Amino acid sequence: MRGNRGGSGTLAHTMVDVWARLEPHLASVQKPARYIGCELGAEVPSPGPQRVGWLLVYPDTYEIGLPNQGLQILYEILNERPDALAERSYAPWTDLEEVLRREDIPLFSVDTHRSADEFDVIAFNLSAELVYTNVLNCIDLAGVPVRSADRTADDPLIGAGGHATYNPEPLADFLDFVVLGDGEEVVSEINVQVATWKAAGRTARIDVLRALASIEGVYVPSLYEPRYLPDGRLEVTAPVDLAAPAVVEKRTIADLADWPYPKQQLVPLTEVVHDRLNVEVFRGCTRGCRFCQAGMITRPVRERPAEQVASMVQQGLRRTGYDEVALTSLSTADFSGIEDVVASAMDDSVGCGNVSVSLPSLRVDAFTVGVAAQIQKARRTGLTFAPEAGTWRMRQVINKLITEEDLYSAVDSAFSQGWRRVKLYFLTGLPTETDEDTLGIIELARRCIELAKTKGHNGSVTVSVGGFVPKAFTPFQWFGMNTEVELRRKVNMLRDAAKLAKGVQIKWHDPRASLVEGLVSRGDRRLGPVIEHVWRAGGTFQEWSEHFRLDLWEQAMAEAGLDLDWYCHRHRAEDEVLPWDHLSAGLHKDFLWQDWRDALEELGLEDCRWTPCYDCGACTGYGIEHVVASAVPPAGGSQGTGQDLHRGGEVSVTLLSRKPVGVGA
Partner 1 sequence: MRQRVRFTKSGKVRFLSHRDVARVWERALRRSGVRAAYSEGFSPRPRLSFGLALSTGYESLGEYLDIDLADEVDPGELPGIVTPSLPHGMVAQSAVPIPSGTDSLQQAVTSSSWRLEVADVEPERIAATVERVLALVAVPIIIERKGVESDLDARPAILELVAEETVIEAELATQPRSLRPAELLRALDPTWTLGRVLRTHQWMSVDGARCEPIPFGDLGARGATSAPHAQARAS
CB nearer partner 1, residue 460 or residue 482:
460
State the nearest-atom distance from the C-beta of 266 to partner 1, in Å: 12
When binding is defined by CB under 8 A, the residue of 16, 269, 294, 656 that contacts partner 1 is: 269
- Least distance from partner 1 to the Cβ atom of residue 110, Å: 10
Q: Does 12 bind partner 1 (CB under 8 A)?
A: no
Q: Which segment (225-233, 312-320, 516-524, 576-584) binds partner 1 by CB under 8 A?
A: 312-320
CB under 8 Å to 531, separation ≥6 — which residues?
132, 133, 136, 170, 171, 174, 520, 556
Given 321, 538, 642, 664, the residue binding partner 1 (CB under 8 A): 321
CB of 199 to partner 1, least distance (A): 34
- Which ranges of 455-507 would DSSP assign to H, the alpha helix? 484-500
Which residues make beta-bridge pairs with 267? 40
CB of 427 to partner 1, least distance (A): 33
Phi and psi for 177 in degrees, rounded to 5?
-150, 155
The CB-of-375 to partner 1 minimum distance in angstroms stands at: 15
Q: What is the DSSP string of 232-289?
A: S-EEEEEE-STTS-SSEEPB--S-GGG----SS--B-SS--TT-SEEEE-EE---S--
Q: How far is the CB of 457 from partner 1 (least distance, A)?
A: 17
Site for partner 1 in 194-223 (CB under 8 A): none
Could you tell me the CA-to-CA distances from 368 to 356, 427, 480, 537, 607 in Å, in that order? 16, 22, 35, 48, 17
The contact pattern for partner 1, residues 438-477, with x = CB under 8 A and - = no contact, is ----------------------------------------
Whether residue 18 contacts residue 105, with contact meaning beta carbons closer than 8 Å, is answered with yes
Q: Cβ of 247: how many Cβ atoms within 10 Å?
A: 10
DSSP label of 40: B
Q: What's the min distance (Å) between Cβ of 379 and partner 1?
A: 6
How many helices (H) and strands (E) would you count in the chain? 21, 19
Q: With binding defined as CB under 8 A, does residue 352 bind partner 1? A: yes
Q: Which is nearer to partner 1, 212 or 267 (CB)?
A: 267
Residue 271 engages partner 1 in binding (rule: CB under 8 A): yes
The single residue among 132, 177, 261, 322 that binds partner 1, judged by CB under 8 A, is 322
Total site size for partner 1, rule CB under 8 A: 28
For residue 264, the minimal CB distance to partner 1 (Å) is 13
**DSSP string of 112-171, one letter each residue:** T--BGGGSSEEEEE---GGGHHHHHHHHHHTT--SSGGG--TTSPEEEEESGGGGS-GGG
- Indicate whether 323 belongs to the interface with partner 1 (CB under 8 A): yes
List of residues 6+ apart from 401 with CB closer than 8 A: 395, 604, 606, 638, 639, 640, 641, 643, 645, 648
Q: Which is nearer to partner 1, 379 or 646 (CB)?
A: 379
Dihedral of CA 541/542/546/549: which sign? positive
The DSSP 8-state label assigned to residue 545 in this structure reads T
Question: For partner 1, which stretch binds (CB under 8 A), given 78-86, 140-148, 269-277, 546-554?
Answer: 269-277
Q: How far apart are CA 48 and CA 7, in angstroms?
A: 6
Residue 87 or 129: which CB sits closer to partner 1?
A: 87
Residues 268, 276: Cα–Cα separation, whole Å: 10
Instruction: Tell me if 273 contacts partner 1 by CB under 8 A.
Output: no
C-beta closer to partner 1: residue 46 or 354:
354
Q: Tell me how far apart the terminal alpha carbons of the chain are, to the nearest angstrom.
A: 70
Q: If binding is defined by CB under 8 A, does position 642 make contact with partner 1?
A: no
Q: Which of residues 378-437 bind partner 1 (CB under 8 A)?
A: 378-379
**In whole angstroms, what is the distance from residue 187 CA to residue 174 CA?**
20
| Distance of closest approach, residue 26 Cβ to partner 1, in angstroms | 6
Question: Considering only residues 23-52, where is the footprint of partner 1 by CB under 8 A?
Answer: 24, 26-27, 31-33, 35-40
21, 81, 274, 319: which one binds partner 1 (CB under 8 A)? 319
Binding site for partner 1 (CB under 8 A): 24, 26-27, 31-33, 35-40, 267, 269-271, 318-323, 351-354, 378-379
